[in-house]
Chain A
Amino acid sequence: MRRKSLFVIVTMLAVLIASVPAALAQTDCKTVVPPSPWGPNDQTGATNRVTPAVTKAAAAEIRDGKVVVMSYPLTDGIPLFGTRFTKTILTATTLAPGGALGENQLTYMEDTWLSQSHVGTHLDGLGHIGRKDCYFNQTPMGKFITQNNMTKLGLENLKSFATRGVLVDMVKVYQAANKFKGNSACKRPCLEKGTVITKADLEAGLKMYNVTLREGDILIIHTGWGNLFEQYPAQNATYNSGEPGIGKEAANWLVTQKIVAVGTDNWGVEVIPGEDPKEAFIVHNILLTDAGIHIIENVRTDLMAAEADQTKRSTFFFSMTVPKAVGLTGNFVAIEGIR
């Protein structure tokens, strides 16, 4: 009897010791990041909300077929930070005398595009931002990275972004509320960097066009700051020096609205400098890490803002291409708003 008890105790201890490393990793991320509402194996995040019904409803936004460009040119010289770079190299060897192929004198050209993925109008994927080594859905990312890419939470896991886009024009909201402070470097009205866009501001922007957010929407915020991007490379330093953007309260509210993504005409969506100087990109944590809601940066919003102002309608069909880039944390995208 005593021998049997001893055996049981030793076995239990062995099981406990063996399970400690895995349990620790799991426990850590479970205390750091909330679970995905779509289950423990979810790597898709908020695009789970883009159901056929959501896409069908969004299609009703296409009324006259007008397409509004919502991405900036992808080219060398656009605003980048520090040592980041883009470099395009054209290969055109067959254009040289004698280089054409066959009797039909076929020539061809192709490009080499060297760049980081978070450049220009781009999408932040679920593997872009974490807390410590914990990412969306309590993923202990240290276990899922190689020298080349991630083996979990890559862009290939995302579903469609074919949903309704809703624009809020913060320039108009701030002007209407008589609290607009601009930046003289902007050639069109823009909010000053450091301006905290609040929940009340977003609600005022929605009310301006009599819209309420619905599950599966993508919210696009026009701050005017993107005008500095348009002036590349002249205003790159000013553009990167900070930005108007949403604060923590607004981000938390957007999570409750069950949207799919937030896009802005600035480089980080959130207000910079942030509300608390000791916090780093906290809105990224709130949206991406905790809620799986994507962030789209450097979105061209001025054309849609003008369209909304003219037609008094701020909704559109959101058309965006995200490559199935395996294991990537983000990628440049092309966006069109179809009306």
Chain B
Amino acid sequence: MARASRTPALPMGRRRFFLRIAPASILLLSQLAGLAFVAVAQERRYTVAFANLTEEPGKTLEGTGFTGREVRESFVLAARRYPIDLVFYDNQREPAKALANAEDAVGRKVNLYIQYFDDAATNVKVGQRLRAAGIGVFAINTPVPEAPLYTIDNRAAGRIAGEALSEYGAKNWRGQPTIGVVIGNLRAQEYRVPDRAQGATEGLKRHLPAIKIVALETQGNPAQVGPLLAKVLASHPATKVLVAAMDDTSALAAKGALESAGRLSDGAIVGQGVDRSVHGGMNDKKEIDPSNRGSIVVGSVAFYLDRYGYEVLPLAMRMLRGETVAPRTVTPHRLITAANVFIEYPPYDMN
């Protein structure tokens, strides 16, 4: 009975044949298994599309001095760390272009689409189209429904500047008449500058709760900073002035205005952005520099648009690997001063 239950014995010739090919088969199978293991071990490459807000030369973003080219470049550099092939699009600040870019990405079957566009209604359509095609979406600064968002926090940035000025005034000018000035493109809703101004106002009151604050609207024209501030200085003689500038260009213009009025010793200024106009290198000296610690431009709040790639691509990689990503990640705004500018932005114009 037991014998009957066995598999029938192979004829001698076939048996020899199988015995001969068995070692080769085992070897082949083990090699195939090895190849499969290597394939798994070598992480697959992903195609990621980045649709930039605009790359028009000279056009600055988010009410800072950064350009679209700098944002794009940060993605190129950051991608070196990851198994990512980038596809770049320029949304040109036009809804039709933004939609066309998304459509093209669907055709290319990208694995993830990073959308940087400041029109919420268009972003809804872009999100719907990409999701319908099974493509994940990540948003920068303006939400795309159901997509993780990386965003500036204008109010927090403004508050950091205001608090730094408030602390400066309380520490250096205690008991002296002091006013606060919030200056810049204050009504620029598209850049959320009103939030920035509100944060600055809140911050200025942190250590000087009774401080009078004057809002000066430049309508985005830095040339207006001088005349506007000059009037305030003229009407407030023998008064210290804490200037919360909404961007770095306005901060530098404010310094010029104080200098022209012979009032440098009456002012302290904090800007917003930390673009290349205020920080340089070992040889390329700018306003915020370790060798310029006495400047009345106390510092500027970093927006890091030149590091978006380094901030966003790690999150993108998590999405691609199927890991959980927080629905909202905020830029780690920080006050950059002469004391930390070379730590935060190490120069490389030396060897």
Contact = CB atoms under 8 A, between A and B. Distances in A.
B129 interface: no
B80 interface: yes
B32 interface: no
Interface residues of A, number: 22
A221 to B, nearest CB: 16
Contacts of A319: none
- Residue from B281, B283, B343, B348 having most chain A Cβ neighbours under 10 A: B348
Interface residues of B, number: 20
Interface in A189-243: 194, 196, 240, 242
Contacts of B348: 242, 268, 272-274, 280-281
A21 interface: no
Contacts of A81: 282-283, 349-351
B307 A240 contact: no
B322 to A, nearest CB: 25
A129 to B, nearest CB: 10
Nearest to A247: B80
Given A273-B77, A275-B81, A278-B344, A82 B351 contact: no
A83 interface: yes
Interface string B144-177: 0000000000000000000000000000000000
B134 interface: no
A194 B76 contact: yes
B77 A194 contact: yes
Contacts, number: 45
Contacts of B351: 81, 118, 267-268, 297
A277 B350 CA distance: 16
B46 interface: no
A336 B351 CA distance: 22
Contacts of A273: 77, 348
Contacts of B77: 194, 273, 277
B191 interface: no
A280 B80 contact: no
A66 B79 CA distance: 43
Nearest to B81: A275
A244 B55 CA distance: 25
Nearest to B349: A81
Nearest to A330: B351
B88 interface: no
Main secondary structure of the interface of A (DSSP, over half): loop
B323 interface: no
A103 interface: no
Given A83-B283, A240-B349, A297-B351, A194 B80 contact: yes
B34 interface: no
B81 A82 contact: no
A104 B345 CA distance: 63
A111 interface: no
Interface in A3-33: none
Contacts of B283: 81-84
Nearest to A79: B351
Contacts of B350: 81
A110 interface: no
A12 to B, nearest CB: 40
B284 interface: yes
Nearest to A118: B351
Interface string B74-118: 001100110000000000000000000000000000000000000
Nearest to A242: B348
A273 B349 CA distance: 11
A279 interface: yes
Interface in A110-132: 118
Nearest to A198: B80
B284 A82 contact: yes
A191 B122 CA distance: 40
Contacts of A84: 283
A82 B281 contact: yes
A82 B284 CA distance: 7
Interface in B261-310: 281-284, 307, 310
- Residue from A84, A277, A280, A297 having most chain B Cβ neighbours under 10 A: A277
B284 A277 contact: no
A280 B284 contact: no
Nearest to B309: A277
Contacts of B347: 280
B227 interface: no
A82 B282 contact: yes
A277 B307 contact: yes
B80 A279 contact: no
Interface in A260-318: 267-268, 272-281, 297
A119 to B, nearest CB: 9
B346 interface: yes
Interface string B311-351: 00000000000000000000000000000001111111111
Given A81-B350, A240-B349, A275 B80 contact: yes
Nearest to B346: A280
A279 B77 CA distance: 14
Contacts of B281: 82
A198 B164 CA distance: 43
A240 B344 CA distance: 21
Contacts of A278: 343-344, 346
Contacts of A297: 351
Interface string A77-105: 00001111000000000000000000000
19 contacts: A82-B284, A82-B349, A83-B283, A194-B77, A267-B351, A268-B348, A272-B348, A273-B77, A274-B348, A275-B80, A275-B81, A276-B310, A278-B343, A278-B344, A279-B346, A280-B342, A280-B347, A281-B346, A281-B348
The 3 residue pairs across chains A and B that have the minimum distance between CB atoms? A82-B283, A280-B346, A267-B351
Interface of B: 76-77, 80-81, 281-284, 307, 310, 342-351
Interface of A: 81-84, 118, 194, 196, 240, 242, 267-268, 272-281, 297
Given A83-B283, A268-B351, A273-B348, 13 more contacts: A81-B282, A81-B350, A81-B351, A82-B282, A84-B283, A196-B80, A267-B351, A275-B81, A277-B77, A277-B307, A277-B346, A280-B347, A280-B348
